[in-house]
Amino acid sequence: MRFLPWALWYAMILHTVWGVGILIGGRAAVMSTPAHAVSVLFPNSRLLAFILFGASVLAAVALGVGEPVENRVVWGLLLGPQAALMLVSGFGGIQAAWAHQYADGTVRPFWFIFTDQAPIIVGAFVHSCSVVNYFGSGLRWRA
């Protein structure tokens, strides 16, 4: 059986797009709810953009390292930043929905924000499940 790391690719593309948006759009791009959740940890916009790029590069290296069954520690360290960013962003979306307020202060009903933030919330969940499943399954990248 083959493992296809689509959740990892999704996160790499997402973080790269966010990084580019932050470099070009500055604080305006940081005020999107998922990026804002991470900016609480890294308030400098350029630093945040480079952290997002770095997480994408490390995840790409993890996909090239080979089998996590043989390189679990290395693979886990390479994917750790991406997993942390996905979880912080996902929980940021949940928090915004719970507070009925986006990062820029716009007030909306819970279900409006929750469904708007669903791609990052679901992405964080699927990414976490994907990593945990692959670590424990013994599946191979290339079969």
More reliable by pLDDT, 136 or 110: 110
pLDDT digits (tens, 9 = 90+) for 93-106: 999 999 999 988 99
Residue 46 gets the label, from left (phi > 0), alpha (psi -120 to 50) or beta, of alpha
pLDDT per position as a tens digit, 53-90 = 999 999 998 887 666 556 677 878 888 999 999 999 99
CA torsion 112→118→119→120, rounded to 10°?
110
Contact 31, 104 (CB under 8 A): yes
Quick one: pLDDT at residue 142?
47
Q: Which two tokens stand for residue 44?
A: 């400098």
Specify the pLDDT at position 130. 83
Q: Token match 């996902």: residue?
A: 90
**Is a pLDDT exceeding 90 seen at residue 91?**
yes
Average of pLDDT values for 13-23?
A: 93
Q: Which of 100, 119, 102 is nearest to 110 (CA)?
A: 100
* Helices within 1-138 (DSSP H only): 6-25, 27-30, 33-39, 45-65, 72-99, 110-137
Read off the pTM. Answer: 0.85
The pLDDT value given to residue 139: 52
Interacting residues of 58 by C-beta distance below 8 A, sequence separation 6+ = 78, 79, 81, 82
